């Protein structure tokens, strides 16, 4: 037998649950899965790569803090397999699809050849843990050759993505769904 108090608690819980359902996130669409590019620009060196999870997408950020005001050159596109540049060695990347990221920023200081990012060819990205991500599955360092750094990003499936630039950062967002 329900008391007046238990019925009030039940009603409050029902309304709270309904409130959560009405605050659903609307995810952007229209990014597409075709290649995205920007022309080479001011020199800068890659110093960090990090990832994050959002309601509608998973995000990878490449830090190039010494890049000039004209931005960072890049090519981001889906590939059938991930091959290290220039050796053409196949690097296995887990996931249903692979995004190759080429950023016009070496992982070393061109003046001194001192490393600025500790990535090693064919190895997972240092400090990047993709456990629990909805879209990202794997991330491997390819190479840094002739001023271009290469990263392979394994994703769940061929999904839409966008590339944006913020001050000294290249941002790649891959949607959780179409």
Q: What is the pLDDT of the chain when averaged over all its residues?
A: 87
Residues near 104 by beta carbon (within 8 Å), at least 6 away in sequence: 40, 41, 72, 73, 74, 147, 148
Say if 26 falls within a structural domain. Answer: no
The pTM score is 0.84
Are 156 and 133 contacting, i.e. CB atoms less than 8 angstroms apart? no
Rounded CA separation 161/175 (Å): 6
pLDDT, average across residues 15-26: 57
Q: Is residue 14 part of a domain?
A: no
Q: Does 143 fall in a domain?
A: yes
Minimal CA–CA distance to 31: which of 67, 60, 56? 56
Over range 141-151, report the average pLDDT. 96
**Total of domains in the chain:** 1
Domain-located, residue 164: yes
The pLDDT-based confidence of 62 (bands split at 50, 70, 90) is: very high
* 24 located within any domain: no
- Give residue 23's pLDDT: 61
d(CA 157, CA 76): 16
Edge-to-edge strand ranges of the sheet holding 148-155: 36-38, 74-79, 97-103, 148-155, 136-145
Q: Are 103 and 94 in contact (CB under 8 A)?
A: no
State yes or no: pLDDT of 2 exceeds 70. Answer: no
Residue 22 resides in a domain: no
Domain assignment present for residue 124? The answer is yes
Range of the domain at 48: 36-175
Residue 29 lies in a domain: no
pLDDT at position 15 is 46
Average pLDDT over residues 62-66: 89
CATH number at residue 134: 2.60.40.3500
Cα separation, 123 vs 127, in Å, equals 12
Segment 101-120, tens digit of pLDDT? 999 999 999 899 999 999 99
């Amino acid at each position: 037998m329900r008391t007046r108090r238990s019925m009030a608690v039940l009603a409050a819980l029902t309304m709270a649950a309904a409130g959560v359902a009405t605050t659903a996130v609307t995810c952007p669409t229209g990014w597409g899965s075709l290649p995205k590019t920007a022309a080479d620009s001011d020199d800068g060196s890659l110093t960090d790569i990090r990832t994050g999870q959002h309601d509608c997408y998973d995000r990878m950020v490449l830090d190039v803090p010494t890049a000039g005001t004209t931005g960072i050159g890049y090519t981001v596109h889906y590939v059938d397999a991930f091959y290290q540049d220039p050796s053409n060695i196949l690097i296995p990347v887990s996931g249903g699809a692979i995004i190759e990221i080429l950023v016009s920023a070496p992982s070393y200081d061109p003046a001194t050849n001192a490393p600025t990012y500790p990535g090693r060819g064919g190895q997972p990205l240092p400090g990047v843990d993709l456990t629990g991500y909805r879209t990202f599955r794997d991330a491997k360092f390819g190479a840094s050759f002739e001023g271009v750094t290469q990263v392979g990003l394994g994703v769940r499936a061929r999904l839409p993505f966008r590339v944006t630039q913020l001050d000294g950062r290249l941002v790649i967002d891959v949607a959780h769904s179409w």
